[in-house]
A and B are shown apart, each in its own frame.
Chain A
Amino acid sequence: MFSTQLKKDNSTLFIVLFLSIFLFLTGCASHTVLETGVKSVGIHAQEIDPYENFNRKSYAFNEVLDNYVAEPIADVYLWITPKVVQTGVSNFFSNLNEINVVLNDIMQGKLLQGSEDTGRFIVNSTIGLGGLFDVAKELGLEKHDEDFSQTLAVWGVPQGPYLVIPVLGPMTTRGIPGGLFDIAANPTSYVGGIFFPVQLLQVLNARASADGDLRFIDEAALDPYIFTREAFLQYRKNLIADGNVEIEDNIFDLEDELFDEDEEISDKLNNMNNNKFNEQEERQLQQAEAGIVEADLDAKIEALRLKIKLRSANQHGVNNN
């Protein structure tokens, strides 16, 4: 795949070198490289991450590579390069990637967005001096985030398990074809020879841009592996849904969890000294029912739950007697 893309390149050595560095650095850099489209995160960890043991080892391996190679290089880059240059470099590669964004806009049927992104590419490539300046943003054309993994998700391709590939970093199985397409659609994949430094710079830029991210994970995560996995899967899911569907899913997951608490209350009721309908429970039920008058949904649900539990407690009591 790579070698056919890069056939024009004169030096095989360069290809090998480039690939190994590119793959390694982007993998380490990103923690976000490829793809997914999870349903719910956290709750179904075993379904999502069946290869956790392997993944953890890969993750640890990538961490070591990053700590000893990618991070020191990125630190030097960030230290010696003025902020304005960093932004320019970042804009330049982002602009080249715009071609891929447009292709995926179209493949997902987002034609209006596709025309906006085409506009972005034209404006930034010309007035923006080859993409160094994001002039289009100033004109009100916001950047969009699209890639082939998202397109596959939109087309209904299942996400597949979460994987941490040595050197490459986090992805899901759907992200493999997704990532390969993205590489093929990026012009920098086709330059070689004297442009080799451009490819190196792209890799460096990617790692440097992720620096704050990675430091933040180090700082905030109790378990960096899980933190990275969850953030990656949730974030990708949000991208696929263009930020629209996510909340509902979260609410369901969380509220299910909240309802466990009600079960605890019920458990307590069941564990009370006797199984009979005592005064305290009755008062609780009356209070909960009073809540219905105020159209408080919580109180209503609580009342229903109490009713059911108390009824079963009563029956239980009768049976025991």
Chain B
Amino acid sequence: MSLIKNRKLITGLFVFFLGFNASVYAEKTSKIDSAVNTEKALEAKDVVLLFQDTLLGVMKKGAELGFKGRYQALEPAIVKSHDLAKVARIVVGKEWKSFSQEQKQKLNEVFSRLSIASYAHNFKGFSGESFEYLSEDETARGGRIIHSVFVLPEDKNVKFDYMLKKKAGNWLIINVIANGVSDLALKRSEYTSILKREGFEALIAKISEKIDNYTNQ
């Protein structure tokens, strides 16, 4: 009874942090390449596809790279395709305004490290997964949603939706929604709750602990 739900939730959550494999078609890749080469701003869709492609590459070499290697390989790709500063600001909610400049910087720093470390930790290997682009939507306020599906050879597909927002002319990922579970909403609930119950230092300590766990596993 609960089995099926569990399995899907696992898959959704897992995949969410685990991996976004991109099966990017040749034409798409070349389009992205030419955009990258000419340093023209990428379309929202291409930002997602390019990021997925990088992840796929890291996954395929996952074992030989090791955690450190994966972290280093993913860092520039994540920083370039995600608006981590905005995400860090959103996940702490209204508390952001009460932080000092030092606290804001500290949060940005540990949040970025956590984001990259969790990718590096979870993108360990590759077993035939692929990623299919479905469609693109524009939101009421000018954002973009890239709909896609993560195809698992041995399991039911997982819906993957990326939300992007334009910043200084570039499309950046601010949320990933896996089978309806929004990373941003989930983190926001956790972070605001911790801030309310235990305060800023506790939040930073918990994030740092997660980074250590990922690094040392």
Residues of chain A touching chain B, judged by Cβ–Cβ distance below 8 Å, are 26, 29-33, 40-43, 45, 90, 93-94, 97, 100, 142-143, 145, 147, 182-183, 186, 205-206, 209-210, 212-213, 216-217, 219-223, 226-227, 229-232, 234-235, 237-239, 241, 243, 246-247, 250-251, 253-255, 257-261, 264, 296-298, 301
Contact = CB atoms under 8 A, between A and B. Distances in A.
A238 B179 CA distance: 7
A223 B191 CA distance: 8
Given A97-B1, A142-B156, A257-B90, A42 B185 contact: yes
A216 B118 CA distance: 11
Contacts of A255: 139-141, 143
Contacts, number: 183
Nearest to B213: A219
A26 B2 contact: yes
A247 B193 CA distance: 23
18 contacts: A32-B9, A41-B186, A42-B189, A45-B193, A147-B1, A186-B1, A209-B10, A222-B190, A230-B186, A234-B186, A235-B179, A243-B179, A247-B145, A253-B185, A254-B163, A255-B139, A258-B90, A258-B174
Contacts of A257: 90, 93, 188
B6 A250 contact: no
Interface of A is mostly: helix
Given A90-B3, A183-B1, A234-B185, A246 B180 contact: yes
B177 interface: yes
Given A247-B147, A251-B139, 5 more contacts: A205-B3, A219-B213, A235-B8, A247-B161, A258-B174
**Chain B interface extent, by class:** 35 or more
A80 to B, nearest CB: 19
Interface string B188-204: 11111110000000010
Interface of B: 1-10, 12-14, 17, 86, 89-90, 93-94, 97, 118, 137, 139-143, 145, 147, 156, 159, 161, 163, 165-166, 174-175, 177, 179-182, 184-186, 188-194, 203, 206-207, 210, 213
Contact of B118 (A220, A261, A297): A220
Contact of B180 (A100, A217, A237, A260): A237
A221 B190 CA distance: 8
Given A42-B186, A246-B180, A231 B1 contact: no
A35 to B, nearest CB: 10
A227 B181 CA distance: 11
Contacts of B194: 222-223
A206 B13 contact: no
Contacts of A216: 10, 13-14, 17
A216 B178 CA distance: 15
A32 B184 contact: no
B191 to A, nearest CB: 7
B7 to A, nearest CB: 6
Contacts of A209: 3, 6-7, 10
Contacts of A239: 5, 180
A293 to B, nearest CB: 15
Interface centre among B9, B89, B90, B194 (most CB of A within 10 A): B9
Contact of A230 (B12, B143, B165, B190): B190
A228 to B, nearest CB: 10
Shortest 9 CB-CB contacts between residues of A and residues of B: A238-B180, A297-B142, A213-B10, A30-B2, A42-B189, A210-B6, A246-B180, A32-B5, A230-B186
A17 to B, nearest CB: 19
Nearest to A186: B1
A222 B177 CA distance: 19
A220 B94 CA distance: 23
